[in-house]
Structure formats: structure tokens, C-alpha cells
Amino acid sequence: MKISIVQMDIAQGKTAENANKVAAMVRKAAEEKPDVILLPEMWNTSYSFENLGELADRGGRDTEALLAPIARASGVNIVAGSVANKSGSKVFNTLFVFDRGGRRIAEYSKVHLFRLMDEHQYLSGGDSLCCFELDGIPCGAIICYDIRFPEMARSLALSGCKLLFVPAQWPRPRIDHWRKLLMARAIENQMYVAACNRVGNEGDNEFTGHSMIVDPWGEIVEELPDGAEGILCKEAEIDNVDVIRREIPVFEDRRPSVYDLR
């Protein structure tokens, strides 16, 4: 599977500007004819928390209107990062997935809200995992802070996922954690991880990218540079997942009755 990752800056609260930029960068990424394009977290509003009620998408309609036609015209799957998304009276941090025909085939609302950036005060957390198929490949998605919870990625792997998508807004002071956690999730679950982190400054926070693809051995296949906008496009040899899982049979050797944490 050829994966394209869009690493970009996001204008806080400027939904029209962000939508235009996303559309342009997705079209540019599609020129390389990838199988799937991945976007960053909260690209429609970023952390414009005070205005989320007015700025948020409504049921993903704006996101679908923007990206479904591009997916259909380009014949590419799009894991549309995540957006501030209003459902009823609540706002969620929601990821949408569109297939090559522009059909919305999956969505996931961030389960773990990051208290250090006050997400829990303005957003509601999701309560379910996200598994879907792209071109017959079992995939899963989590968002940013979720990577600190290994149970999530393991649950997705146990459901059969071979490729994990991770959109994020991960700041510079903990960028080493970002890189190491992504590698750890890939190694322990013997699956590919495709992760997209934004760049740019917002208030006191600096975001430095380091979007990457990690293989099931935990090796970085390719990584975008620190602080710069750009597009990564690289092939992921998904068949290697089955080879590695047979070589080191982690899932067969599990003993959950010993360490069940519930």
C-alpha cells in the first residue's frame, strides 16, 4: 500500500483557510497516485476551543463535502485526519475515512482527551474503537494522546488490523515520546503505523511534525523533517505483517489470564 502523509500548519479558528489548504495539499498528494492519504488532527479549527460550538463541523458534513469529491476524482482513499465535529450539543474530535469512491466508510472520535491542553473542558470523548478496510487491508485509527494507551492499539491488532493511522498535534517538548511511542506500538503489535503530526506555532505551543511511517519491526521507513510542511509518500509492504507475526508469534504466546488489567 502506497501511503501519503500531509504534514501542514493549521490556522487557529480559520476554517475556510484551513479547508482551502487541505484541499490543495490533498490534491497535490494525489498526484503521486498513493493508495491512501492521511491528514493531521483537528485541521479545521485547531485549538480554538472558545469558539468550537460555532466553528465545528456538523456531523462531518463539511468534511465530506470537501474531501469526498477529491477522493472520488482522484481514486484515492483518504483518512481525513480529525476535525472538531458537533453532534447534538457536544463537540468531538472526530476522524473520518473516505474510500476511493468518496464514500464515508468509518469514523472515530478520540477516546482519551488530553488534560494538559484542556481538551476535556471543551470536547467530549468517544467510546468505541475504529476498525475498517482499505483495499482489503484491515486498518485501525487512533488520535494523538491515544498512543500513550497501549491497550487501544493492542485491541485493534487483536481485531486483525495490520495498519494503524495516527493523526496528531504533538508539541515539541515531548517529540521524543512521539517517536518512541509510535515505534513501540508498531513493534509490540507487529503492524505498520502511519502517523501525521502538524507543524507551526499556536500560543505557547510549537508543533514540529516528524510525521512518519514505521514498519512492524519498529524501523522508521520514512520521516518528514522537523518543522517543515511537506508530503511524505512511501510504499508499505503490508504482506510483511503476516511474515513477522509468524516469525515471532506474539499473539499466539499471549497469556491474558495472567495479566488481564480490568
Long-range contacts of 113-118 (CB under 8 A, 24+ apart): 113/145, 114/144, 114/145, 117/47, 117/205, 118/49
CA distance 249 to 255: 12
Does 41 qualify as catalytic in the annotation?
Answer: yes
Query: What amino acid occupies position 70?
Result: I
Q: For residue 36, what are the contacts with CB-CB under 8 A and spacing of at least 6?
A: 1, 2, 3, 4, 76, 77, 78, 79, 134
Does 110 qualify as catalytic in the annotation?
Answer: yes
Query: What amino acid occupies position 125?
Result: G
Lookup result for grid cell 458537533: 86
Does residue 237 sit in helix, strand or coil? coil
CA neighbor of 210 nearest in space, from 40, 52, 33, 74:
40
Q: Which of 110, 130, 161, 162 is catalytic?
A: 110
Q: Are 231 and 5 in contact (CB under 8 A)?
A: yes
Q: Which of 130, 144, 161, 196 is catalytic?
A: 144
Does 223 qualify as catalytic in the annotation?
Answer: no
Q: Which of 21, 41, 86, 139 is catalytic?
A: 41
Long-range contacts of 108-117 (CB under 8 A, 24+ apart): 108/82, 108/141, 108/142, 108/143, 109/85, 110/82, 110/142, 110/143, 110/144, 110/145, 110/146, 111/142, 111/146, 111/149, 111/152, 112/145, 112/146, 112/148, 112/149, 113/145, 114/144, 114/145, 117/47, 117/205
Which positions are annotated as active-site residues? 41, 110, 144
